[in-house]
Structure 1
Amino acid sequence: MATTKAEPKPATASTKAVNKTYEGLTREDLLRAYRLMYLSRRIDDREILLKRQQRVFFQISGAGHEAMLVAAGLLLKPGYDWFFPYYRDRALCLALGMTAEEMLLGAVGAAADPNSGGRQMPSHWGHKGLNIVTGSSPTGSQILHAVGCAEAGRLFNAHPDSAAKAEGDYREFKDVVFHGDEVSYVSCGDGTTSQGEFWEALSSASNNKLPVLFVVEDNGYAISTPVEVNTPGGNISKVVSGFPNFHFEECDGTEVLESYRAFKRAIDYIRAGKGPAFVHGHVIRPYSHSLSDDEKLYRPEAERKDEANRDPITKFYKWLVAESLATDKELKDLQTDVDTEVQDSSDRAVEAPIPALDSYSQHLYSSTLDPASAAFETRPQFPVHVEGETAVAPAKTMADLINACLKDEMKRDPRIVIFGEDVADCSREEYLKQKQVKGKGGVFKLTSGLQMEYGADRVFNSPLAEANIVGRATGMAVRGLKPVVEIQFFDYIWPAMHQLRNELPVVRWRSNGAFSSPAVIRVAIGGYLTGGAIYHSQCGESIFTHTPGMRVIFPSNALDANGLLRTAIRCDDPVLFLEHKRLYRETFGRSPYPGPDYMVPFGKAKIVKAGHDITVVTYGAVVPRALQAAQKIERENGVSVELIDLRTLNPYDFEAIAESIHKTNRVIVAHEDTLSWGYGAEIAARIADELFDELDAPVKRVAAKDTFVAYQPALEDVILPQSDDLFAAMLEMSKY
C-alpha cells in the first residue's frame, strides 16, 4: 500500500530557525523591545483620550522617542544604575520596570502615584526602587544632579566607610548601596542643550572623568523652535565634540539596533571607568509638544507626513516581520494584549483615590528628624586653659568657630564633602606636599586646612559657576553624601536660583517623600564693609525664606554660628546658612570653642538683652547695632529695651516675639535688607494680625533704604541701618 508524505505545516516566525542573534539580542529580547515601544505609545494615546474626557489635566508624550529609549533600557540596570530622565522618557521607564498602571496613576494625580503622589505633572518620572530620581519641569536642571550623583558613587567606591552610618549621626540614614561600575543616566531634548547648566555639567563630567551617560533626544524642535535656531550648525554632536575624556555616539534614534549599538559602546566605555559618554539620537515627534500645543501652527503638512514615514514603531514592526522574527498575527496578538493591559490599567487608575486634601503639608521637611527638637539642643563644653590661678577659655571669632565646626563634622561623618569657589587649600596638591604654598582655604579662610586634613576628594574647588555648585550638591545629597558647599558671595547666588528654588528644596515634597536632598549651602552675605559697594554687600534673605522646604539660618555671633552650623549639617533638610561677612572677625560675639557636639536648635530665638518697655526683633549684623542703641537709650533716657536675636529665619520663633510683646506692648522690627518687601514685613504683618490687642503703638520697621549699597563709605552709612537709626526709632516709640 502506497503511503504519502504529510504536507508540512506553514512555517511561522516562532517555528523558523531563530537562533540568529542581533547585537546579542535574542528573538525574545526584540519582541520585548517592540512590546515596550508599543506599550509606551498606547499609554500616550490613552492619556490623550483621558485628557479630552477631563480625567487627566496635562499630557506630554514620548511618542517618536521609543526606539532609542527602549534600547537604552535593555542595557542599563534598574536599581543599580541611577536615572535622571526628562519628560519624554516614558519608554525608558517602562523598560526599567515601571508599569502602565503606575504611569496612569501619575496622569490622573492619584494618591498611589509612585512618581509624586499626585503632586507633579504626568511624565515627570520618579521611582525609588528603580533609582529613577524625581524630576522637575525646568529644562536641564537635572543634568547637574546626575553629575553629583556620579561623584557620590565614585567617592563611595573609593571610601566604602563613607557609605556607612557615621557614629552619632542624627540623620535617619540607611546604608548606601554602591557599585564600582554604576552609570548615572541623564537625558534631555535638543532645545535643552542651549541651557548653561547643560554645558556646566559636560564640563565637570569631562574634567573629572565621571561615569555619566548624557543622552540628547533630538526630535528637531524645542516646542516650536527648530533645532538650527537653538544649536549652532543644527547638530549638537559637532558642537560638543571637543570635550576631552568623552565617548561620543550619534545615531538614528528611530532604529532599535542602531541605537542599541550606540548605547552599548557608550555604556561599556563608562563601566570600564574611562569617563563619560554622550549619545545623540535623531528621533521624531509625531504629536505636538504637549496637548497645550498645536504643531500645525508652525509645521507644514508635508514635513509632518515625511516624519511619519520614520515612525519607529511602524518601522520596527515591518522589520520584525521581514526578518521572520514575528508574523503579522503574532504582532497583532501582542498589540491586543497591550491594548487590554492599558485599558485595564486606565480603568483602575481613574477609580483610584486622590490624595487626602490635608496632605499638602507633608514632606516639606523631614518627618523623622526635627531640627527644632531637643535632640539638637546641647550645652557647650568650653575648654579651659589655666593662666596662673585663673581659668581662661580663649575667645574665638565667628570665622574660627565655623572652621572648627567643619573640621569636627568632617571627622565625625565621612559622607561630608566640601566644595565651592576657592575653598580648597590648593588644587595643585603637589604644591602643598612640597610645602611651596601655605594654602588658601576660601577667600575668607573659613575652610582653611580642611583639604590638607581630609584630602582633595572631600574638599575641592568647583568651577566658577554657582548653579554647578548647588546642582552637583543636590545630586550628591540624593545619592547619600552630605555636601556642605559654599557660595562665595551672596551677591553672586543668582545663577543658582533654578537649583535653589526649583530643585534642592522641592526634592522631598515633589517625590512625596521618596527622595530627599539635605545639602547645606553656606553663603557669605551682607554689607557694612566700607567699600563693598553693589556687588559685595547684598542681602536678600526674604527671597529664600519665601521658598518652602528650605531652612534659612542667619547667626549674629560665633557661638551661635558654631552650634547652628552643626545642626544644619546633622539635620535632614536643605539648609541655606547665611554668614555675615562683617561679623566673621568682629570683637562682638566672640566665644570659646564649645566642643564637637554643641548644637543650637532651629526656631529658637535668643534674648540678647532683657527689657520691659520696647521689643526689638532683629538678626545678623543689626544685632550689635541694636544692642548699642538699646544700651544708649537705657543709659540716657531710662528706656528698657528687650532685644531678640531670631538666629533662624525659617523656622522663626514667633512665640518668643509674642511673649516679649505681651510684656512690652511695643515692637520694632529691624533688618539690613531694604525696607520694602523685606523679611521684617512678614513679621510686622503677623504681629498686627495676631497681636493687635497687645499693642500700645504701631509696629515700626527699621531697615535699609530702597536702593543699592554704594561704594563711598559715607553713602553706605546713610543707606544701611545704623545704631543711630535704631536709637531714633526707639526714642520715637518710647514717646508714643
Structure 2
Amino acid sequence: MAEKSVKSAEVRLRGREAAEHPLSREQMIEFYRLMYLSRKTDDREIVLKRQQKIFFQISCAGHEALLVAAGMALKPGYDWFFPYYRDRAICLALGNTVEEQLLQSVGAADDPASGGRQMPSHWTSKRLNVVTPSSATATQCLHAIGCAEAGRYFSRHPEAAEKHTGDYREFKDVTFHGDEVTYVSIGEGSTSQGEFWESLNTASNSKLPVLYVVEDNGYAISTPVEANTPGGNISRLIANFPNFHFAEVDGTDAVESYKAMVEAVAYCRSGRGPALVHGHVIRPYSHSMSEDERDYRAADELEADALRDPISKMQVVLIREGILDVAGINALERQVDAEVQWAADRAVAAKLPEVSSILKHQYSEDLSPTDSRFATDPVVADAGTERTMADLINTCLKDEMRRDPRIVVFGEDVADATREGALKGGKIKGKGGVFKLTAGLQTEFGSDRVWNSPLAEANIVGRAIGMAARGMKPVVEIQFFDYIWPAMHQIRNELSVFRWRSNGTFSSPLVIRVPIGGYLTGGSIYHSQSGESIFTHTPGVRVVMPSNAQDALGLLRTAIRCDDPVLFLEHKRLYRETFGRAAYPGPDYTIPFGKAKIVRPGKDLTVVTYGAVVPRALQAAQKIHREAGIDVELIDLRSLSPYDWDAIATSVKKTNRVIVAHEDMLSWGYGAEIAARIGEELFHDLDAPVRRVAAMDTFVAYQPLLEDAILPQPEDLYRAMKDIAAF
C-alpha cells in the first residue's frame, strides 16, 4: 500500500475537542478502509441483485463513519451488540468478514448468521457477541436492556454463571465482565415505536450500561423525520431522561463521531448509566432495491446529501492531514475492491441449504420438554395434605429458584413490595402477585431475583428475551392473558423464531406464566379471555395448560428446566378449586410435554379437552354414565403445543365417536385443528361426525346469566355426549 509519510506518528485533528481523542495514523487509515469496505460491499450486493444472484438488498451507505466509529470504540466478543439492518460497517469493524456477509446475501448453507433463513443485513455472530436481529424495528431495544441486566446480574452473582452438568442443569456458557457495554442501534423512524420508549425507561431507572445509537438519515422509507418525530429531532424529546449521557453529532464526520462514541462508551463503562448518540447521517441510495427514492425526494435534496458523503469527506481529511495521498488512497481502494470481489465469487459459488434442514433448530435439540427424562414418578412425603394449584405453582417456583441461581422472576405486582423497607420486621404481608402465586419469593430470594416491572407487557417479554439469550432463566408473568397483546409482537416475531432464524446460534429459553380464562362470575371482557390457538399457531414456542395442581407443578418444572421458550397458561378458575388438589409430589417431579392424561377411561365416546373444561366434562361424563350407561373416555391434553395425537387416535379407534371441547370461541378455535385431523386421518374409524363444543363466537359478558350462556357448561357437554352416542 502506497502511503505518504507524516512528521508525527499521531494525527492531531483540528479543534480543541477533537484533539482530546487523537487517532493514530494507522487508525485513520484503518478507519477509511473499513468505511470503504462497507460501501463496496453494498455496491457488490447491488450488482449481484441486478444479476439475480441474490434476492434482496438494503443499503447501509451513508452510515459508515458513525458506525465504524462505534466499532472502534467498543470491544468485539466482550461487549454485546444488538444491531439493525443498516449496521454493516460496525459489524465489519468488529471483525465480521465480507464473505460472511455475502453468504447471507445469497442464502448459503454456510451463512454463519442464519443458514439462508434471514434476508441480507441481519447480522449475527456468536464469536463477536452480535445477537440475532429481526426485520421488526425497535424490538431489539428491549433485548439489549435484558442483556445488560444479565451482565450486571452475573457480575453480582457469579455462582449463577458456573457451568453445571447432569440433573437438567445444562447451563449455557456464560461470560461477563464488570464493565461491559451493550450496544443497540435504530433508525430515527424507529424511535416512534413503543419498545424504544419502554427501553429508555428501564435503562434510565436502572442506570444500565446501554449505548443507544440513533442513525438519523432523515427518512423512514419515504416518511421524512418531521412526520415521525415532533419537532423533527429525537434528541430534544429525550433530553430529560435522568442518568443518561447524550450526544448529537454529524454522523458523516468520522472524527467527530469517534470522539462522541469514545465518550459515550466511557460513560457506560463507568457505571453511571446509559448513553445515546444521535448521529445525523445520509442515505445516498434508496431505502432498498425494492423502491426508488426519486419518487419522493427532490433532486436538490439528493445533491445536498451527496455533498455530505462520509466516504468523500474522509478522503479529504486523509489528504489534508497528510496521512495518504491520492495514490495511496487508490492503492488502498484497489486492495479492498479485490477483497470484495474475492468474497463475492466465493459466496456465489457456495452450497445452498438442503430442504431437509428446514425444521432444524425450530426447537431445542439438546433438552426438549418432550424428552423422556422428564417422565418421573411423584414422591409424596405429605400424602395426607392436598394443596391447590396455586400452592403447588408457588412451591415449584421456590424449589427451582433454590436449585438454579439463574432464575429471576418479574412482572407486574409479582414482588412482595418494591419498597423493601416495608417488609422488614413483618410490618406488611406483601403482595406477591394479584393471585398470590409469587408470594414470598422476593422475601426469600431478594430484589435482585424478584421484582416488579413497569406496567408494560412488551417490556416484560422483550427484556426476558435478552436475559435468556445471555444464559439466564427468566420466569416472567403477564398479569392477565387479556393484556398479553402488547407483548404479542415480542412473542411472535422475536421469541418464537430466535433459535430458528439464527440457525441455532442463539436461543432464548424463557417461561411466560399467564393466568387465562373465564368462569369467574364477573370477569367480563377483559378478565376472561382465552385465545390459546393464536399461540399454538406460533412455531418455536411451547404451550401448556394444566387442569390440576399436580400437573401444574410437573409441567411448570419441565418448562423451567427445558431449553425451549414456554407459554405456561394457568386457568384462574382452577387456582384454588377443590377439583384437582394434590399432595406435593417432590422437588424433582416433572411431566414431559406432549403427553395427554386419561382422566376417565371409557369405551363408548371420547372427549378431548383441557383447562377448565376438564372438570366440566368430567361432571357431564359422570352424569351420562349414571343416567344412560354411556361410558365416556375423557382426555386432558395438558400440553397444547405439542399435543398428544397418539393418545387421541388410540382412543378414537376404540370408541369410534369423539367430541373436541374447549373454552375459547368455537370458530377458528384450537379444537378445529384436532377435529380436522381426526376427520382426515381417522375417518374410517368414526361411527359419527366429529362434534365440537365451545364458547359462543362473542366476548364474555359481565352479568353471570350472560357469562353462563356464552361459555360451555356441563349441560352443553352432556347434550353433545347424548347426541353423539345416539348417532
**1:79-478 to 2 correspondences below 5 Å:** 79-166=77-164, 169-170=167-168, 172-384=170-382, 392-478=383-469
SS of the residue 1:533 aligns to: coil
Q: Deviations over 1:567-602 (max 9, x none)?
A: 000000000000000000000000011111000000
Structure 1 residue 413: Cα displacement: 0.2
Answer whether contact 2:67 2:89 (CA < 8 A) is retained. Answer: yes
Answer whether contact 1:18 1:325 (CA < 8 A) is retained. Answer: no
Answer whether contact 1:169 1:570 (CA < 8 A) is retained. Answer: no
Equivalent residue letter for 1:187 = S
Answer whether contact 1:214 1:277 (CA < 8 A) is retained. Answer: yes
- 1:232 and 1:76 map into 2 onto residues whose CA distance is 31
Structure 1 residue 433: Cα displacement: 1.5
Equivalent residue letter for 1:307 = D
- 1:184 and 1:17 map into 2 onto residues whose CA distance is 35
Structure 1 residue 559: Cα displacement: 0.2
CA distance 1:607–1:197, change in 2 (3 Å): same
Answer whether contact 2:544 2:641 (CA < 8 A) is retained. Answer: yes
- 1:714 and 1:19 map into 2 onto residues whose CA distance is 83
- 1:21 and 1:322 map into 2 onto residues whose CA distance is 12
Number of residue pairs matched?
719
- 2:706 and 2:166 map into 1 onto residues whose CA distance is 49
- 1:17 and 1:491 map into 2 onto residues whose CA distance is 66
- 1:175 and 1:49 map into 2 onto residues whose CA distance is 41
Structure 1 residue 21: Cα displacement: 4.6
Q: Are 1:712 and 2:712 an aligned pair?
A: no
Q: Are 1:607 and 2:598 an aligned pair?
A: yes
SS of the residue 2:127 aligns to: helix
SS of the residue 1:35 aligns to: helix
SS of the residue 2:139 aligns to: coil
Q: Among residues 542, 555, 564, which one is paired with 1:564 in the alignment?
A: 555
In structure 1, the partner of 2:18 is: none
- 2:425 and 2:300 map into 1 onto residues whose CA distance is 68
Equivalent residue letter for 1:649 = L
Q: Among residues 495, 518, 523, which one is paired with 2:486 in the alignment?
A: 495
Structure 1 residue 167: Cα displacement: 6.6
Q: Deviations over 1:141-200 (max 9, x none)?
A: 111000000000000000100111357552533331100000110000000000000000
In structure 1, the partner of 2:500 is: 509
In structure 2, the partner of 1:5 is: none
Q: Deviations over 1:212-260 (max 9, x none)?
A: 1111000000111110111111110010001001111110000011011
TM-score between both structures, scaled by the size of structure 2: 0.98
Equivalent residue letter for 2:109 = A
- 2:22 and 2:167 map into 1 onto residues whose CA distance is 47
In structure 1, the partner of 2:50 is: 52
Gaps of 5+ in 1: 1-10, 385-391
Equivalent residue letter for 2:721 = M
Answer whether contact 2:164 2:171 (CA < 8 A) is retained. Answer: no
Equivalent residue letter for 1:326 = L
In structure 2, the partner of 1:622 is: 613
Q: Among residues 69, 72, 76, which one is paired with 1:71 in the alignment?
A: 69
Equivalent residue letter for 2:586 = G
In structure 2, the partner of 1:6 is: none
Answer whether contact 2:516 2:528 (CA < 8 A) is retained. Answer: yes
Gaps of 5+ in 2: 14-20
Structure 1 residue 734: Cα displacement: 0.7
Answer whether contact 1:171 1:369 (CA < 8 A) is retained. Answer: no
Equivalent residue letter for 2:82 = F
Answer whether contact 1:382 1:393 (CA < 8 A) is retained. Answer: no
- 2:173 and 2:154 map into 1 onto residues whose CA distance is 11
Answer whether contact 2:222 2:296 (CA < 8 A) is retained. Answer: yes
Structure 1 residue 654: Cα displacement: 0.3
Equivalent residue letter for 2:149 = E
TM-score between both structures, scaled by the size of structure 1: 0.97
Q: Deviations over 1:76-108 (max 9, x none)?
A: 011110000000000000000000000000000
Structure 1 residue 61: Cα displacement: 1.1
Q: Among residues 660, 666, 680, which one is paired with 1:675 in the alignment?
A: 666
SS of the residue 2:354 aligns to: coil
Equivalent residue letter for 1:305 = E
SS of the residue 1:316 aligns to: helix
In structure 2, the partner of 1:61 is: 59
Q: Deviations over 1:540-562 (max 9, x none)?
A: 00000000000000000000000
Answer whether contact 1:167 1:412 (CA < 8 A) is retained. Answer: no
Q: Are 1:520 and 2:511 an aligned pair?
A: yes
Q: Among residues 22, 36, 39, which one is paired with 2:37 in the alignment?
A: 39
Answer whether contact 1:171 1:572 (CA < 8 A) is retained. Answer: no
Aligned Cα root-mean-square deviation (Å): 1.0
- 1:405 and 1:352 map into 2 onto residues whose CA distance is 49
Equivalent residue letter for 2:85 = Y
Answer whether contact 1:399 1:446 (CA < 8 A) is retained. Answer: yes
Q: Are 1:694 and 2:690 an aligned pair?
A: no
Structure 1 residue 676: Cα displacement: 0.2
Structure 1 residue 288: Cα displacement: 0.5
CA distance 1:19–1:82, change in 2 (3 Å): closer
SS of the residue 1:249 aligns to: strand
In structure 2, the partner of 1:541 is: 532
- 2:200 and 2:341 map into 1 onto residues whose CA distance is 41
Answer whether contact 2:10 2:23 (CA < 8 A) is retained. Answer: no
CA distance 1:185–1:118, change in 2 (3 Å): same
Structure 1 residue 434: Cα displacement: 4.1
- 1:108 and 1:24 map into 2 onto residues whose CA distance is 40
Equivalent residue letter for 2:496 = P
Q: Deviations over 1:257-304 (max 9, x none)?
A: 101111111110110111101110000000000001110011000000
Greater shift in the superposed pair: 277-286 or 165-174: 165-174
Equivalent residue letter for 1:80 = Y
- 2:9 and 2:200 map into 1 onto residues whose CA distance is 42
- 1:176 and 1:370 map into 2 onto residues whose CA distance is 21
Structure 1 residue 383: Cα displacement: 1.4
CA distance 1:51–1:12, change in 2 (3 Å): closer
Q: Deviations over 1:83-135 (max 9, x none)?
A: 00000000000000000000000000001111101000100111111000001
Q: Are 1:650 and 2:641 an aligned pair?
A: yes
Q: Among residues 677, 681, 685, which one is paired with 2:676 in the alignment?
A: 685
Answer whether contact 2:388 2:578 (CA < 8 A) is retained. Answer: yes
- 1:426 and 1:415 map into 2 onto residues whose CA distance is 22
